Amino acid sequence: MDFTFELIKRDSQTTGRVGVMRTPHGEIPTPVFAPVGTQATVKTLSPHELADLGATLILANTYHLYLRPGAEIVAELGGLHRFMGWPGPILTDSGGFQVFSLQDLRRVGDEGVLFRSHLDGSEHFFSPEKVIQIQELLGADIILALDECPDPFDRDYNAAALQRTHRWAERCLAAHTRRDQALFGIVQGGIFPDLRRESARFLASLNFPGYAIGGLSVGESKETMNEMLEITVPLLPEDKPRHLLGVGSPEDLFEGVARGIDIFDCALPTRLARNGTVLTRKGRLNLRNAEFARDARPIEEGCGCYTCQHFSRAYLRHLIKAEEILGLRLSSLHNVYFMVHLMAEIRQSLQDGSFASRREEFLSEYQIVPYEVRRQNKEAWLARRRGSKTA
Ligand SMILES: [Zn+2]
């Protein structure tokens, strides 16, 4: 069965829309939030738990799986779905973002990008053809073209990188052979409106079955990100899904959906959980704080997740302080449930015409992490990731 996307309803007050993607491994109602399973596992959660909490699409990382265990091994063992025991739809990224985050470890040319493994320093080369071959071996339902991810503020670099990304997109299309996989192109262009426009127009002309928007939420302000979406989305075909890569704070779901985004993925819910931070409708809670030591309430009153049905903030705080693995699991379970269910509510509100008021209500209650704090967190995280041998 080939990949299809059906647009079901357009919101009358925003650019938001409801649709459904059909893949060989099941249907994905959109807009959708995809939990990230970097190493073919959404950290600490089993596929059974992910299915139970309502996840319909999981993202896995080509770069990491290529280095370890290797795409051939995954293919030998029946492909990614069977290998990780997740029978539902999977999306793999192209590895571009990871390779270009390696900083000093690469050399880029028109043919592709040379990099060193963060695991053992061995040298590897990603060309557009190679990245497609790896993703065909992994066997995800949706795969991505190789793109160059430059510093979003460097105009000259972005202009040059964009031409390369466009040629690579054409080469990915030419190299792609598996009819059961949908190959999405990636719009780049940094924070420059003219480059974003050029990229959206060019990629739209190549007639991909879907489009990803890359290079956002990498240090620019939320206002700039939203402006780039307002410039890019109208130039993409209306009957194709649009994926905002690596973006997915609770507030981003509302802002992205309002601007016509259908797919979000983000490691944030599981990354926060491993720090003892959980998501609520009022904002983030750090369970390590002393104020929760005697707090008998669940993370969030009314939350239907297993964690909130059975455990108090005080118990979770105890687990996290004692560095018990269950603390990470229960926090991750709540956070992923929170995001998946928030998106289900967004879909419902688009269906019944209440999205605009729902968005206003949520954003008035949800305390957004200030820009400066977010930027520092992101930099610290990137620095840890670069330095880490087990990222
Ligand atoms: Zn919960």
Structure tokens at 164: 């390369």
Strand, coil or helix: 187: strand
Average pLDDT of the chain to the nearest whole number: 95
Percentage of residues of the chain with pLDDT beyond 90: 88
Task: Give the model's pLDDT for residue 218.
Answer: 87
Centre of ligand 1 from the C-alpha of residue 305, in Å:
4
pLDDT of 387: 58
Provide mean pLDDT across the span 266-274: 96
Tokens of 10: 């357009």
- Look at the block and give the residue holding tokens 């490691």: 267
Ligand 1 geometric centre to CA of 55 (Å):
15
Q: Cα(39)–Cα(64) distance, rounded to whole angstroms?
A: 6
pLDDT of residue 105: 63
Q: Please report the beta strands in 181-247, taking only residues with DSSP state E, as ranges in sequence order.
A: 182-187, 211-213, 242-244
- DSSP secondary structure letter of residue 36: B
Output the pLDDT for position 103.
66
CA distance 55 to 333: 11
User: Which of 101-105, 358-362, 372-376 is predicted with the least confidence, judged by mean pLDDT?
Assistant: 101-105
pLDDT of 114 above 80:
yes
Query: What was the pLDDT predicted at 104?
Result: 60
What mean pLDDT is predicted for residues 248-257?
97
Q: Which residue has the higher pLDDT, 58 or 221?
A: 58
pLDDT band for position 34 (50/70/90)?
Answer: very high
Q: Above 70 in pLDDT, residue 285?
A: yes
Distance 310 CA to ligand 1 centre (A): 9
| pLDDT value, residue 391 | 37
Q: Could you list the active site residues?
A: 93, 265
How many whole angstroms from 303 Cα to the centroid of ligand 1? Answer: 5
The per-residue pLDDT for range 159-212, each reduced to its tens digit, is 999 999 999 999 999 999 999 999 999 999 999 999 999 999 999 999 999 999
In angstroms, the CA 333 to CA 327 distance is 10
Distances from the Cα of 391 to the Cαs of 63, 299, 355, in angstroms? 11, 28, 37
Q: How far is the CA of 211 from the centre of ligand 1 (A)?
A: 32
CA of 273 to the centre of ligand 1 (A): 12
Report how far ligand 1's centroid is from the alpha carbon of 70 (Å): 36
> 126-140, 215-229, 254-268: lowest mean pLDDT where?
215-229
Q: How far is the CA of 6 from the centre of ligand 1 (A)?
A: 32
Whether the per-residue pLDDT at 390 is higher than 60: the answer is: no
pLDDT at 321 over 80: yes
pLDDT of res. 375 = 76
Nearest to 106 by CA among 63, 73, 166, 138: 63
More confident residue, 357 or 101: 357
Q: Which amino acid appears at position 116 of this protein? A: R
Q: What is the predicted pLDDT for the residue at 281?
A: 97
Please report which residue ranges of 68-154 form alpha helices under DSSP H: 71-76, 80-84, 96-100, 128-138
Write out the two tokens for 124. Answer: 């590897």
Separation CA 317–CA 12 (nearest Å): 44
> Distance from the CA of 142 to the center of ligand 1, in angstroms?
29
The pLDDT value recorded for residue 146 is 97
